[in-house]
Amino acid sequence: MRKRDCRLTLYLTTDEMAKLNRKSSAACVDNNRYLRAFINGEELKPAPDERFWQAMEIVREFADKIDTLAMKADDKADVIAIMAEAKKWRMLENAIEKEFLRPKKVGDS
C-alpha cells in the first residue's frame, strides 16, 4: 500500500455530505476511496443489484455446460468448435463485467 502522509480537512454542507455518503455507499466503497477515485479521474459505478448477479451466473453456467459438452465430444473438430463457442460466452461475460463493474477514467489531470 502506498504511504499517505498528506492529511486533508474538508468541510462540507449537510447536503454535500449526504450526497458523498450516498454515492460512496452505492459504489460499495468508503468516502476516502470514493474521493481518491474522483481525484484520479475514475468514475465509480453503483454496485449492480441481485438480478445482475443472477444473470451473470446464468452466463457463467452456460459457458461451463458448453465446456462439459466439449469434453464429451468424440470428434476433434467438434471439440474445437464447441470450445470456441464457450470462449465467446466467456468473452461476453468479461465484456459485461468491464462495462458494469470496473471504474472508467473520465479525464486526465
- Mean pLDDT over 4-26 rounds to 92
pLDDT confidence of residue 109: 45
Considering the domain architecture, whether residues 66 and 97 belong to the same structural domain is answered as yes
The answer to whether 52 touches 32, Cβ cutoff 8 Å, is no
In terms of residue numbers, what domain contains 28? 10-47
Considering the domain architecture, whether residues 43 and 77 belong to the same structural domain is answered as no
Q: What is the mean pLDDT of the chain?
A: 87
Q: How far is CA 9 from CA 6, 16, 32, 33, in A?
A: 10, 15, 12, 15
Whether residue 23 is contained in a domain is answered as: yes
Cα–Cα nearest to 89, from 56, 63, 68, 54: 63
pLDDT band at 43 (very low <50, low <70, confident <90, very high): confident
- Mean pLDDT over 82-101 rounds to 88
In whole angstroms, what is the distance from residue 21 CA to residue 86 CA?
A: 41
The number of residues in the chain equals 109
- Mean pLDDT over 18-23 rounds to 94
99 forms bridges with which residues in the sheet? none
- Mean pLDDT over 98-108 rounds to 75
Cα–Cα nearest to 63, from 44, 83, 46: 83
Residue 105 pLDDT more than 90? no
Considering the domain architecture, whether residues 33 and 54 belong to the same structural domain is answered as no
